[in-house]
Amino acid sequence: MSNTDKTSTASTAPSNPLLRTLLLVGGTFFLMLGFLGAFLPVLPSTPFFLLAAALFFRSSPRLHRWMTGHPLIRPHLQRFQQDRSMTMRAKATVLGLAWIVLLAAAIFLVDSLFMRGFLIGLAIVKTIVILRLKTARPS
């Protein structure tokens, strides 16, 4: 490992142990959802694998390397990295779940009009970002 590799690896892990633990727990949660999505037709796997990879990148270089080398996960990550695309099914599932969760939170959990507007605005921004991604054909 070169000196720059050590520096970049060390700089990605947070020094706060609580933050690192939260990132690891989140990464593990999204990794499990990604594996479920690989086998269940209702869940997309790519967005969950991307979230897990991002969280592991910040918390555990070893888990990030394992994940990016795993034969089931690698194709999902590579397709997104190469052409920044998602399948239509993945887009629809991600947006459907996001709108359900954010609208439910805005209606049932939040009393502030500002926070309701913020959550709906967040859903709109997420929709724009996802729809601007290229649509890949299912593999």
Question: What secondary structure does DSSP assign to the chain, as a single string?
Answer: --HHHHHHHHHHS-S-HHHHHHHHHHHHHHHHHHHHHHH-TTS-SHHHHHHHHHHHHHH-HHHHHHHHH-TTTHHHHHHHHHH-EEEHHHHHHHHHHHHHHHHHIIIII---HHHHHHHHHHHHHHHHHHHHSEEEPP-
**pLDDT of amino acid 87:** 81
pLDDT of 5 > 60? The answer is no
**pLDDT of amino acid 34:** 87
pLDDT in tens, 59-81: 999 999 999 999 988 887 887 88
**pLDDT of amino acid 75:** 84
- Predicted TM-score (pTM) of this structure: 0.59
**pLDDT of amino acid 116:** 94
Q: What is the number of H-type helices and E-type strands within the chain?
A: 7, 2
